Chain A
Amino acid sequence: DARVTQTPRHKVTEMGQEVTMRCQPILGHNTVFWYRQTMMQGLELLAYFRNRAPLDDSGMPKDRFSAEMPDATLATLKIQPSEPRDSAVYFCASGPRAGGLNTGELFFGEGSRLTVL
């Protein structure tokens, strides 16, 4: 069945290293989101794409984070350089474009758990 696929599921890295997380959205979905989940902050929206165009990345630290959609089947979230405070679970979600019968529900991947030492 259709699902959002994220890789890697787990990543342990050292401070200063580059980290790239990948997401394959559900085929046919027009929107892609990156969320970060921590105990302290809960779910935070980092980036939001519609038809591969970035619409909102106001929640993302611009100096070290970047998000892209090279094509409709791949979204990437990159951290360079990584810091211990980036340790979190990063979720990708996709959904159909809102409007008409589409109510805007999102479908989440299983997350990438990042630990930065």
Chain B
Amino acid sequence: AQSVTQLGSHVSVSEGALVLLRCNYSSSVPPYLFWYVQYPNQGLQLLLKYTSAATLVKGINGFEAEFKKSETSFHLTKPSAHMSDAAEYFCAVRASGGSEKLVFGKGTKLTVNP
């Protein structure tokens, strides 16, 4: 069954520093992978998605993620953190067999320090 593991429930960076949020997936078939962001008291919003068209995926707000099959990873990065990036980030994989179900990781809370 498809699953994702997010390493680190909390990540803290300084404003202007590199953001790196880790996600490893487990899938028996080529996966569809997603990163979502959740701001306080809001729903989840799609940041970016991997659908096998390109291994480096660019999303909104300057985020990007690289699909690495050899490492079964889909880490999220942003070169320079802004205070407004403080939020919780979820990695997700779509279930196999034509299902539309998304299986989410536990989430990583990003804190950006001034």
Which A residues are within 8 Å of any B CB, using their own CB? Answer: 4, 31, 33, 42-43, 45, 48, 50, 55-56, 91, 93, 95, 97-99, 103-111
Contacts of B43 in A (CB 8 A): 4, 91, 93, 108-111
Compute how far the CA of A20 lies from the CA of B99 in the bound complex, rounded to whole angstroms. Answer: 27
Chain A residue nearest to B104 in the complex (CB): A43
Q: A48-B101, A105-B34 are in contact. List 4 more A-B contacts (CB 8 A).
A: A50-B100, A104-B100, A108-B36, A110-B41
A97 touches B90 (CB 8 A): no
Contacts of B51 in A (CB 8 A): 103
B30 on interface, CB distance cutoff 8 Å = no
Q: What is the predominant secondary structure among interface residues of chain A facing chain B?
A: strand
B102 on interface, CB distance cutoff 8 Å = yes
Compute how far the CA of A19 lies from the CA of B100 in the bound complex, rounded to whole angstroms. Answer: 27
- Write the nearest CB–CB distance from A98 to chain B, whole angstroms: 5
Which residues of B, 14-49, contact A by the 8 Å Cβ criterion?
32, 34, 36, 41-46, 49
Compute how far the CA of A91 lies from the CA of B51 in the bound complex, rounded to whole angstroms. Answer: 25
Query: Among A31, A95, A104, A109, which residue has the most Cβ atoms of chain B within 10 A?
Result: A104
Chain B residue nearest to A41 in the complex (CB): B106
Which B residues are within 8 Å of any A CB, using their own CB? Answer: 32, 34, 36, 41-46, 49, 51, 90, 94, 98-107
A95 touches B45 (CB 8 A): no
Chain A residue nearest to B51 in the complex (CB): A103
Chain B residue nearest to A92 in the complex (CB): B43
A97 touches B100 (CB 8 A): yes
List 12 A-B residue pairs with CB atoms under 8 Å apart, sorted by A's residue number: A4-B43, A56-B101, A97-B100, A98-B98, A99-B98, A104-B32, A104-B102, A105-B46, A106-B102, A108-B36, A108-B43, A109-B43
Q: Contacts A98-B94, A103-B49 given: A108-B44 contact, CB under 8 Å?
A: yes
Compute how far the CA of A55 lies from the CA of B95 in the bound complex, rounded to whole angstroms. Answer: 13
Contacts of B104 in A (CB 8 A): 42-43
Compute how far the CA of A56 lies from the CA of B99 in the bound complex, rounded to whole angstroms. Answer: 10
B44 touches A98 (CB 8 A): no
Partner of B107, one of A4, A42, A50: A42
